[in-house]
Protein backbone atom coordinates (compact mmCIF):
# COMPACT_ATOMS: atom_id res chain seq x y z
CA UNK A 1 0.00 0.00 0.00
CA UNK A 2 2.62 2.59 1.07
CA UNK A 3 5.59 3.02 -1.23
CA UNK A 4 7.72 5.90 0.02
CA UNK A 5 7.81 8.76 2.53
CA UNK A 6 9.90 11.89 1.98
CA UNK A 7 10.04 14.73 4.50
CA UNK A 8 9.50 18.30 3.33
CA UNK A 9 11.36 20.74 5.58
CA UNK A 10 9.96 24.28 5.65
CA UNK A 11 12.65 26.97 5.91
CA UNK A 12 13.11 30.69 5.24
CA UNK A 13 15.82 30.11 2.61
CA UNK A 14 16.92 26.95 0.79
CA UNK A 15 20.31 28.08 -0.52
CA UNK A 16 22.11 27.92 2.89
CA UNK A 17 21.17 24.26 3.41
CA UNK A 18 22.54 23.16 0.02
CA UNK A 19 26.18 23.55 1.14
CA UNK A 20 25.50 21.57 4.34
CA UNK A 21 24.17 18.56 2.42
CA UNK A 22 26.76 18.87 -0.36
CA UNK A 23 29.46 18.11 2.23
CA UNK A 24 27.79 14.70 2.57
CA UNK A 25 27.57 14.08 -1.18
CA UNK A 26 23.89 14.97 -1.39
CA UNK A 27 22.98 17.26 -4.28
CA UNK A 28 19.83 19.06 -5.33
CA UNK A 29 18.25 16.98 -8.09
CA UNK A 30 15.35 19.42 -8.52
CA UNK A 31 15.45 23.19 -7.97
CA UNK A 32 12.38 25.37 -8.46
CA UNK A 33 12.61 29.17 -8.21
CA UNK A 34 10.22 30.89 -5.84
CA UNK A 35 7.38 32.32 -7.94
CA UNK A 36 7.22 35.72 -6.24
CA UNK A 37 10.98 36.22 -5.76
CA UNK A 38 12.60 38.75 -8.05
CA UNK A 39 16.15 37.62 -7.16
CA UNK A 40 15.85 34.04 -8.45
CA UNK A 41 16.04 32.40 -5.04
CA UNK A 42 14.70 28.89 -4.67
CA UNK A 43 11.21 28.09 -3.42
CA UNK A 44 11.54 24.31 -3.53
CA UNK A 45 14.30 21.72 -3.89
CA UNK A 46 14.71 17.96 -3.76
CA UNK A 47 18.04 16.70 -2.44
CA UNK A 48 18.92 13.08 -3.08
CA UNK A 49 21.66 10.46 -3.17
CA UNK A 50 21.24 6.67 -3.22
CA UNK A 51 18.59 5.75 -0.59
CA UNK A 52 18.37 9.30 0.83
CA UNK A 53 15.88 11.96 -0.18
CA UNK A 54 14.68 15.14 1.51
CA UNK A 55 12.70 18.07 0.16
CA UNK A 56 12.93 21.72 1.19
CA UNK A 57 10.31 24.39 0.60
CA UNK A 58 10.40 28.01 1.68
CA UNK A 59 7.73 29.40 3.97
CA UNK A 60 6.91 31.98 1.28
CA UNK A 61 6.33 29.18 -1.23
CA UNK A 62 4.07 27.36 1.24
CA UNK A 63 2.08 30.56 1.76
CA UNK A 64 1.69 30.81 -2.02
CA UNK A 65 0.40 27.23 -2.15
CA UNK A 66 -2.06 27.97 0.64
CA UNK A 67 -3.50 30.91 -1.29
CA UNK A 68 -4.03 28.63 -4.29
CA UNK A 69 -5.65 25.89 -2.20
CA UNK A 70 -8.06 27.21 0.43
CA UNK A 71 -8.54 23.68 1.78
CA UNK A 72 -4.88 23.59 2.91
CA UNK A 73 -5.12 26.89 4.73
CA UNK A 74 -6.28 25.30 8.00
CA UNK A 75 -3.93 22.32 7.75
CA UNK A 76 -0.56 24.08 7.35
CA UNK A 77 1.41 26.55 9.40
CA UNK A 78 2.92 28.83 6.81
CA UNK A 79 6.13 29.80 8.61
CA UNK A 80 9.40 27.93 9.07
CA UNK A 81 9.07 24.85 11.24
CA UNK A 82 11.73 22.93 13.10
CA UNK A 83 12.06 19.28 12.21
CA UNK A 84 14.25 16.58 13.69
CA UNK A 85 15.45 14.30 10.90
CA UNK A 86 16.94 10.95 11.96
CA UNK A 87 19.41 9.56 9.42
CA UNK A 88 21.08 6.15 9.68
CA UNK A 89 24.64 6.12 8.36
CA UNK A 90 27.36 3.52 7.79
CA UNK A 91 30.13 5.37 9.68
CA UNK A 92 29.60 8.24 12.07
CA UNK A 93 33.28 9.19 11.79
CA UNK A 94 32.75 9.99 8.08
CA UNK A 95 29.89 12.35 9.01
CA UNK A 96 32.02 14.11 11.64
CA UNK A 97 34.83 14.67 9.13
CA UNK A 98 32.50 15.92 6.39
CA UNK A 99 30.63 18.31 8.70
CA UNK A 100 33.65 19.75 10.51
CA UNK A 101 32.86 23.40 11.20
CA UNK A 102 29.08 22.92 11.11
CA UNK A 103 27.05 23.55 14.28
CA UNK A 104 27.23 20.40 16.44
CA UNK A 105 24.38 20.52 18.95
CA UNK A 106 24.36 16.93 20.19
CA UNK A 107 27.82 15.49 20.87
CA UNK A 108 28.29 11.82 20.16
CA UNK A 109 26.43 9.52 22.52
CA UNK A 110 25.43 5.88 22.73
CA UNK A 111 21.72 5.18 23.11
CA UNK A 112 20.11 2.53 25.31
CA UNK A 113 19.50 0.47 22.14
CA UNK A 114 23.19 0.59 21.18
CA UNK A 115 23.24 3.20 18.41
CA UNK A 116 25.96 5.84 18.30
CA UNK A 117 24.47 9.23 17.46
CA UNK A 118 25.37 12.86 17.02
CA UNK A 119 23.31 15.84 15.92
CA UNK A 120 23.83 19.03 13.93
CA UNK A 121 21.73 22.13 13.42
CA UNK A 122 21.59 22.68 9.65
CA UNK A 123 21.46 26.26 8.33
CA UNK A 124 17.66 26.13 7.90
CA UNK A 125 17.20 25.56 11.64
CA UNK A 126 16.44 21.83 11.54
CA UNK A 127 18.11 19.22 13.74
CA UNK A 128 19.76 16.39 11.82
CA UNK A 129 20.62 13.38 14.00
CA UNK A 130 23.02 10.91 12.40
CA UNK A 131 23.02 7.38 13.79
CA UNK A 132 25.39 4.46 13.34
CA UNK A 133 23.97 1.09 14.31
CA UNK A 134 26.18 -1.86 15.17
CA UNK A 135 26.17 -4.61 12.57
CA UNK A 136 24.07 -7.56 13.63
CA UNK A 137 25.95 -10.86 13.65
- Under a CB-based contact definition with an 8 Å cutoff, are residues 59 and 79 in contact? yes
- For residues 46-72, average pLDDT: 84
- Chain segment 59-71, per-residue pLDDT in tens: 888 888 776 666 6
* Predicted structure pTM score: 0.85
Mean residue pLDDT across the chain = 89
- For residues 24-36, average pLDDT: 92
pLDDT of 39 reads 85
pLDDT of 69 reads 65
* Beta-carbon count within 10 A of 53 CB: 15
Domains of the chain: 8-132 (3.10.180.10)
In angstroms, the Cα distances linking 50 to 27, 54, 118, 132 are 11, 12, 22, 17
- Chain segment 87-124, per-residue pLDDT in tens: 999 999 999 999 999 999 999 999 998 999 999 999 99
Amino acid sequence: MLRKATPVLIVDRIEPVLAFWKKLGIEATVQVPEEEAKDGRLGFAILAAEAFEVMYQTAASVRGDLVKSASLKDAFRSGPQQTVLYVEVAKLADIERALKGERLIMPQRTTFYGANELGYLEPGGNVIVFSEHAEKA
